[in-house]
Chain A
Amino acid sequence: MAALKKGKNASATSNPWRSLALILIAMVALTGGMFASGHTTPRLGIDLAGGTSITLAAVPEAGQESAINKTNMNTAVSIMERRVNGLGVSEAEVQTQGTRNIIVNIPKGTNSKQAREQVGTTAKLYFRPVIATELAGGGTAPSPSATGDESEQDSGKDKATDKATDKATDGSSPSASTGPSASATTQGRAVTDALKADETPSASPSGKAEDSPSATGGASGDADLQAQYAALDCTKESVRAKAGDGSKATDSIVACGQNSQGQWQKYVLGPAAVDGTDVDEADAVLNTQTGAGWIVTMKFTGKGAEKFADITGQLAQKQSPQNQFAIVLDNEVVSDPYVSQALTGGNAEISGNFNQQSSQELANMLSYGALPLTFREDSVTTVTAALGGEQLKAGLIAGAIGLALVVLYLLVYYRGLSFIAILSLLVSAALTYVIMSLLGPTIGFALNLPAVCGAIVAIGITADSFIVFFERVRDEIREGRTLRPAVERAWPRARRTILVSDFVSFLAAAVLFVVTVGKVQGFAFTLGLTTVLDVVVVFLFTKPLLTLMARRKFFASGHKWSGLDPKALGAKPPLRRTRRSPAPAMTKEA
C-alpha cells in the first residue's frame, strides 16, 4: 500500500500537467464526440419531454412462476414494440426493467390512448385458413382465385429470391398475390417430416372454393364478410388497424398483411384452427443441410399437434390460395405459408425467403402466443408537453440555485481556494452533461426528473471531496508547513477518504440501479455516474490544479484572500520545523 501510494503520489507531483492534459483531452474528445453524433442535449424522459409512459408487470399463469424469465420477457418486448410501432407511433420505446416489468414510452403527439390499448391487451395469435387474398389497394389487383395455379405459384416461391420476377408479374401472376406477410418474407412452405394426408372433414365453414372473392359461398354471414373484404383497403393505416377488430376466434375475418415486397395484401380468413397457445415453442434455425437458409421451426403441444394435423390435412387438398394458412397476430397476417401435405407429429417448419432477422421475428411471434404471461398495467403517466417543459425548467432552476448557493458558500469559506473548487465543479458538470448526452443514443439513457434531482444532489457529494481535501491541506498548514509540502502531504490521506466514501456512495447507487425499477433507476444512475466523475475530477483536475497553484505566489505566500493564510488558519509558528525536520512523507504510511 505504502509503495503504491508513494509511486502514485510521486508521479502526480512530478507532472500535474500530464493529468490536466489528460482530462482536457478527454473532455475535448467527449465534446467532439457529442457534436459529431449530433446529440448535443441529453435525451429527455417522458416526464420532461411530454408523452405517455406505461409500466406493465408480467403476471404468470398459475403455477408458471418460472415463465417470468429473460427470454420470455424479451419476446414480449419485441411483440409489444411491433404492436406499438405498428400504430405508426414512431420512436415509441419498449424495454424491460427489472425482472418483471416492461416500460413502454410513447412520445407526445401520438395517439397514446390507442397505444395503451395495444400494449394493455394480450396479443392473440391464431392460425387461420386462408379463404381469399389479393393485393390491397387499387383494383389492379387480380382476383386471387383466378390465378390459383399451383405450379406457377410453386415456382414463384421456390425462387423466392427472385423478386424481380415477382414484381414483374405483379398483377397477373399469382406469386405476387400469395406473397407472405410482414417483414418476414414468408413465401412459406410448411414442410415436415410428417406424412400422410389426413383427410379429416373440414370444420372450416366458409372455406369453399370460391371463384372470386365476390362469389363466396358458404354461410350467410359471409356476404357481410365479402362486403368488408371488398371495402378493405390495407394500404391505409387507419383501416388496417381496424380490420378484424372485435372478432372472435371462431369468426371468419378479414385481415391485412404485408408481403415480401412490402406490399399490403388483404385476406379473408376462416375461423382459427390452431391457437397461439397451442404452439409449444418456435425457433429460428439456419438449415445448412438442405440449403434452405433460415427457417422457423415450430413444436406444438399435444392438442395443438392434433389440430395442426387436421388443418394441414385439409389445406393440402386445396387449391391456392386456399392451401395456405395464415399466422395471424392481433388480426394482422404475419405469415401465410402454404401446405403441401398434412403435417402430423407436432413438428413443423416454415421455410421461405427468410433471413436471420425475419425468421427470428416470426419465431418470436409464434412463441409469444405460447407465453404463459399476461401483462397488467401498473402505472400510466401522461405528461403534457407544457408540464414537461415546466418541470424541466424547474429542475434546471433548482439546480442553478443549488449550485449558486454552494459556490457562494465555498467562496465565503475558502476564498481564493474556492476558485479551484468552482472550476472543478464546472468541469464535473460539463463532463456529466456531455456524457449524459452521449448516453442517450448509445444506451438509451433518458434524463427524467429524478435523474435531474440526482444530479443536483450530486453537487453536494462532489463539493464534499474538495472540502475533505482542502481541510486536510489546511490542517497541514496549521502544522506549520508551507503550502507545497502541505498539499503533497494532505493528498494521500484525503485521497483515501474520498475513495472510501465515494465507494459507499457508489455502492448505494449501484444496488439501487440493479434492484429497483422506474424512476428510482434514473436517479440511481445519475448518482452513480456523478460519483464516478467526482473521483475522476478530483484525481485528474483538482489535485493537479492545486499542485500548480501552490507554486503561485498568491497561494504559496498565504495571501489573505487565498483561503490559505497561515495566520488566519491559526498555524503554529514555523519554529517547530527548525527543531525537528519532518520525516519524508509516506515513510510511515503502513
Chain B
Amino acid sequence: MSKLGTLGARLHHGEVGYDFVKNRKIWYAVSILITILAIAGLAVRGLHMGIEFQGGAVFTTPKNMTVSVATAEGYAEEASGHDAIVQQLGDGSMRIQVAGIDTGTSDKIKDTLAEDLKIDAEQINAELVGPSWGEQIANKAWQGLGIFMVLVVIYLAIAFEWRMAVAAFVALIHDITITVGIYALVGFEVTPGTVIGLLTILGYSLYDTVVVFDSLKEQTRDITKQNRWTYSEIANRSINSTLVRSINTTVVALLPVAGLLFIGGGVLGAGMLNDISLSLFVGLAAGAYSSIFIATPLVADLKELEPGMKSLKKRVMAKRAQGADEDEDPQTATVAVGGPGDEGEDVTPAVVGPRSRSASRGRGRPSGKRR
C-alpha cells in the first residue's frame, strides 16, 4: 500500500497528526503576513490589466511568421499610431497587442497590418475590445462574487452554523486576496480568463472547506455530553481525519489544471486556457491551505467563545488536572481525540498497551454512532 494509505491509517488512528488548532496563531500570522504582502503588492504594483480592460485590439497572426518581432512591432505602430506589444508565441505565430484604439478603426489596422506582413487579412485572428468591456466583465464578476458570498453564507449558516459560515467567508476572502496579490506581485496579466479562474476558486475553495466542516459537525454533535475533549481538540481531530482526503482532492484537482497550464502555457503560448488555469492553480493551492489552516481553527476559536464550550473546556481541564491520564503524552492526546461516544470506555486504554490503545481511540472516531 502506498505511503499515503499508511499515513491515512495512522492519521485515522491518531498515531500521527499535526495540531493545527494549537498552532493556529502561527498560521494566522503567516496568513496575515501573506495578506498584507498581497495588499501591499496590489497597492504598490497594481494589477497588470490585459488589453481587455483598457480597450484595444489583439491580433494573432498565423503560424510560421518570418518577420521579426521588432519589424512586426514597427508595422503595428505605424498602422495604428499607437504603441504595440508583439510577442512571439510557442507555435511561431505572433500576438500583436495595440492598446487604446477603438473597435471602429481596428479593421483598417488589421488590413494594413496584413498587407505589411504579407498575409491574408482573413488569416489574422482579431480580438477587439471596447474600453468598457473589461470593466463590465469585472463589474459582473464582483456582482457575482457578492451574490454568491451572501447566498453561501446563508446556506452554510443553515446547513452548519453561523460560525462556520463566518469562517468559510474569511477563508474565501483570504484565498481571493492571496490570488490577486500573487497576480500583482508576479505581474501576470489579468484577462477575462483570469477572472473566470478566480470565480471558480469560489466554488472550489469552499468545496474543500465544506468537507472539513461536515466532518467537524459530525464529530461535535454530542460534544457537550462528554467532558474529555474540548471543541478545539475535536476540531483538530476533524482536520486530521479528513487530511488524506484533502490532500487527495487537491492533488486530483490540481492535476487537470496542471495539464491545462502545460498545454495552455507551453503549447499555445498565451490565451484563455493559460489564463484560466494559472489563476485556478494559484487559487486552488491557497484554497487547500486555507480550509485546513485558517477556516477550521477559526471555527474553533469562535466556538470556544460560547458559554457552553467554555464550561466544557473547564470540565475537561478539571478532569485532566485530576491526573487521570498521567501517562498520556498531552500532544498525542489532543490528536487522538475520540468521538463523543467514547466516554464510557476511555478509562481502559492505557492498560492494554500501545497497539490496542491506538485501536481503541480509532474505534470511536467516525461519528460516535455506537455508544
A residues sitting closer than 8 Å to B (CB atoms) are: 47, 55, 57, 98, 113, 116, 120, 376-384, 386-387, 390-391, 394-395, 397-403, 405-406, 409-410, 412-413, 449-450, 453-454, 456-457, 459-461, 463-464, 467-468, 471-472, 474-476, 478-479, 489, 493, 496-497, 500-505, 507-509, 511-512, 515-520, 523-524, 527, 565, 568-573, 576, 580, 582-583, 585, 587-590
Contacts and interface: CB of A to CB of B under 8 A. Distances in A.
A457 B4 contact: no
Nearest to B361: A572
Contact of A518 (B106, B137, B147, B367): B137
Nearest to A513: B144
12 contacts: A394-B267, A395-B263, A403-B256, A460-B253, A463-B252, A464-B252, A467-B249, A475-B12, A478-B362, A479-B362, A507-B203, A520-B199
Given A464-B249, A516-B144, A450 B1 contact: no
A519 B199 CA distance: 12
B103 A380 contact: yes
A398 B273 contact: yes
Interface in B236-269: 241-242, 244-245, 248-249, 251-260, 262-264, 267-268
A22 to B, nearest CB: 27
Contacts of B218: 493
A410 B248 CA distance: 9
A461 B130 contact: no
A401 B126 CA distance: 29
Dominant secondary structure at the B interface = helix
Contacts of A380: 103, 106, 126-129
A405 B256 contact: yes
A475 B12 CA distance: 7
Contact of B272 (A378, A453, A582, A583): A453
B273 A453 contact: yes
A47 B359 contact: no
B199 A413 contact: no
Contacts of B148: 507-508, 511-512
Given A381-B128, A413-B5, A589 B369 contact: yes
Nearest to B367: A493
B132 interface: yes
A378 B132 contact: yes
Given A453-B272, A453-B277, A456-B259, A406 B196 contact: no
Given A409-B251, A467-B245, A583-B370, A453 B62 contact: no
A40 to B, nearest CB: 25
A398 B9 contact: no
Contact of A505 (B13, B203, B362): B203
Interface centre among A405, A476, A508 (most CB of B within 10 A): A508
A59 B227 CA distance: 66
A410 B10 CA distance: 20
A424 B36 CA distance: 43
A565 B264 contact: no
A586 to B, nearest CB: 8
Contact of B268 (A386, A390, A471): A390
Contacts of B245: 467-468, 471
A582 B276 CA distance: 49
A450 B151 contact: no
Nearest to A566: B9
B140 A394 contact: no
Contact of B125 (A387, A471, A479, A503): A387
Contacts of B107: 113, 116
Nearest to A53: B127
Interface in B108-128: 122-128
A116 to B, nearest CB: 8
A569 B260 CA distance: 33
Contact of A570 (B13, B133, B199): B13
Contact of A394 (B155, B255, B268, B369): B268
B200 A460 contact: no
B132 A478 contact: no
B179 interface: no
B167 interface: no
A378 B129 contact: yes
A192 to B, nearest CB: 43
Contact of A517 (B103, B136, B256): B136
Nearest to A503: B155
A511 B147 contact: yes
Nearest to A511: B148
B333 interface: no
Nearest to B277: A453
Contacts of B202: 508
A233 to B, nearest CB: 28
Interface stretch (B24-32, B72-80, B206-214, B299-307): B206-214
B2 interface: yes
A397 B256 contact: no
Nearest to A571: B9
